[in-house]
Amino acid sequence: MKRSSIKHRAILDAAIEVADRDGYASTTIEAIAAVAGVGKQTIYRWWPSKSALFIEVYEDLVDRRLLTARTGNLSSELTELLQNLFRIYRQTPAGRVLVGLVAEASANADIRNVLSAGIVAGRAEIVTDLVRKHAPPIVGELPGIDPEIVNEVLVALVWKRLAIAPDRLDDEAAAEIAGIALAAARREGVL
């Protein structure tokens, strides 16, 4: 349906605009509807809640813009990936949206599942693929890097810093976080 998809886009854009202006928590469905030039019901027709809408908003913001790094060693590519992500967080409300979503996830199992399946697991392979491309898997007694751990530490640190010190997500932080995540995942081989 053409008409629907125009509205759909208008609602996402309005949500981004209002979240940017008012912050995630202060964003109301009413305000989004008004900015989108749409009735409240039209939003509820497609999304059951603010959170559901913003999960899509987050994916929209990040997917549209997150360019994967191309060359270099593991550490530099990971750093570049984070730098791109942090740039998005600085230029759009994506970071604040993410924290808001994590916040609501804590109170609502449905959102928790969608968030964990969508944003966490869904995006995990970007990182794990990157790791696997560069580092040999852990086989037997040989040392290696566990891609899952890289991803979990990465996600955890980004969330924590978004929540506690959202202003300090700059290029330097990206390198620091990448370093910590890689160190955390390095497994020594048994000699």
Partner DNA sequence: TCGTAATCGAGACGGTACGTCCCGTCTTTTC
Partner DNA sequence: GAAAAGACGGGACGTACCGTCTCGATTACGA
Residues at the site binding DNA, with contacts judged by CB under 7 A = 1-4, 7, 26, 28-30, 34, 36-42, 44-46, 49-50
Out of 60, 77, 80, 104, name the contact with a second copy by CB under 8 A. Answer: 104
For DNA, the closer of residues 39 and 189 by Cβ is 39
Instruction: Find which of DNA, a second copy, none residue 105 binds, CB within 5 to 8 Å per kind.
Output: a second copy
The dihedral region occupied by 138, where left means phi > 0, alpha psi between -120 and 50, and beta the remainder, is: beta
Among 99, 130, 169, 174, binds a second copy (CB under 8 A): 99
CA angle in degrees (0–180, nearest 5) for 109-65-115: 5
* Contact mark string toward a second copy, 20..49, x via CB under 8 A: ---xxxx-----------------------
Size of the site for a second copy (CB under 8 A): 38
Can you tell me the distance from the alpha carbon of 147 to that of 152, in angstroms, rounded to the nearest whole number? 9
Each residue 111-130 as x (binds a second copy by CB under 8 A) or -, in order, gives: -x--xx---x----------
Q: What whole-number distance in Å separates Cα of residue 95 and Cα of residue 167? A: 10
Report d(CA 29, CA 182) in Å as an integer: 40
CA distance 26 to 31: 10
* Shorter beta-carbon distance to a second copy: residue 36 or 115: 115
Q: Tell me the three state secondary structure of residue 162.
A: helix
CB of 64 to a second copy, least distance (A): 23
Minimum CB distance to DNA, residue 32 (Å)? 8
Concatenate the DSSP letters of all residues of 3-27 into one string: HHHHHHHHHHHHHHHHHHHH-TTT-
- Scored b (16 or more CB within 10 A) or e, 151-174 reads bbbbbebbeebbeeeeeebeeebb
Binding site for a second copy (CB under 8 A): 23-26, 96, 99-100, 102-108, 112, 115-116, 120, 149, 152-153, 155-157, 159-160, 162-166, 180-181, 183-187
